[in-house]
Amino acid sequence: MANPLQVAAEVVSLQPAGAYHHLVLRAPGVAERVEPGHFVAVAIGGRDSATLLRRAFSIHRADEAAGTVEVVFAEHGKGTRELARVRPGDRLDVVAPLGTPFPVPSGPATALLVAGGYGSAPMFALAERILDQGGRVGFILGAATADRLYGVDQALALTPDVVVTTDDGSAGTRGLVTGPLAEAIAATGAQAVYSCGPMAMLRAVTEIATAHGARSWTAVEESMACGVGVCMTCVLPVVGNDGVSRFVRSCVDGPCFDGTKVRWSDVGTIPADVEGAAAMGVR
């Protein structure tokens, strides 16, 4: 995990982006620490706000020269609705960068980047890193409908290998991002598949990638109260390098995990072999 800062960030801009909002923040000292896959935790309202918990968002881009970080978010509830009302010049209390980023290949490698909805937000900076290393990238971007896709143009600016899927067929191929994945791995010879989106999607992507001989790196979504590693609300069962499964924190031990280490089918349960399950009466 990066060494995070808590700063009063200035809102530079807030623009609509399809069904989402694109927020640019000037956050001194933060941008130079950001790696692809890091996230920010934004406080909602002022010091006396009744909305106590921060909202966490993947960092879309960080511009070291401008001192800015960018996030893409959807209005889900009262916190994000309030965030969607900020104006340029407003101040937001931000803690960033947080989390363990995606591992980036140290040399030339071919990678597929698979994302659902605005889960694509952190993928473009990641793709640039992989390209900088002399590698190749391809994208599979999916969403329920065409207006819920994010960043197709940004992907096309980086590579012609962009496949789009929508549930209703309103853009690209009708179906899920997992539909074209196996063929894309075979066609590109991808050694790694990076994914960001709903848990069910991450599980399916991991299974397909692994079955076709590619590493799978996933950025998980778990609701978290603190984002900094102290509250233990965002845990999920992960197999350690020692073979022992533990409930680990997605905020500091993740959000980016080796997909094969996450016990996707056991999320939301207490597996009998997870460390300490016996003390909960689980046998």
Partner 1 sequence: MIETTAAGGAASTTQAVGGPVAAHQVDMTAALGRSSLPNPITTASGCAGYGRDLAKFFGLDEIGAITTKTIMPYPRSGRATPRMAETPSGMLNSIGLQGSGIDAFVAHELPWLAQRGARTIVSIAGERVEEFAESAARLTGVPGVVGIEVNISCPNVADRGLVFACNPATSYDVIRAVREVADPALPVYAKLSPDVTSIVEIARACVEAGADGLSMINTLLGMEIDTTRLRPALAGVTGGLSGPAIRPVAVRCVYQVYAAMRAGVMPEVPILGMGGIRSGLDALQFLLAGASAVSVGTVIFNDPGAPVRILEELRDALATRGFWRLADAVGAAHR
55 is in an annotated binding site: yes
Name residues contacting partner 1, limited to 5-64 (CB under 8 A). Answer: 6, 43, 47-48, 50-54
Binding mask 169-208 for partner 1 (x = CB under 8 A): ----------------------------------------
Rounded-to-integer distance, Cα 82 and Cα 75, Å: 9
256 is in an annotated binding site: no
Confirm if 219 and 119 have CB atoms less than 8 A apart. yes
The residue within the footprint of partner 1, chosen from 33, 225, 260, 261 (CB under 8 A), is 225
- Look at residues 65, 9, 84 and name the one whose alpha carbon lies nearest to residue 41: 9
Q: Strand locations in the chain, DSSP E?
A: 5-17, 20-26, 39-42, 55-63, 68-73, 91-98, 110-116, 136-143, 162-166, 173-174, 192-196, 215-219, 235-239, 245-249, 256-258
Q: Does 97 bind partner 1 (CB under 8 A)?
A: no
Closer Cβ to partner 1, 201 or 236, answer by number: 236
Q: Does 277 bind partner 1 (CB under 8 A)?
A: yes
Stretch that binds partner 1, among 1-9, 130-138, 144-152, 153-161 (CB under 8 A): 1-9
Q: Does 233 bind partner 1 (CB under 8 A)?
A: yes
Rounded-to-integer distance, Cα 130 and Cα 132, Å: 5
**21: which 2 tokens?**
């909002």
Q: Does 95 bind partner 1 (CB under 8 A)?
A: yes
Q: Does 224 bind partner 1 (CB under 8 A)?
A: yes
Angle in degrees, CA 82, 84, 87, rounded to 5: 100
Q: Where does this chain bind partner 1 (CB under 8 A)?
A: 3-4, 6, 43, 47-48, 50-54, 93, 95, 222-236, 246-247, 252, 267-270, 274-277, 279-282
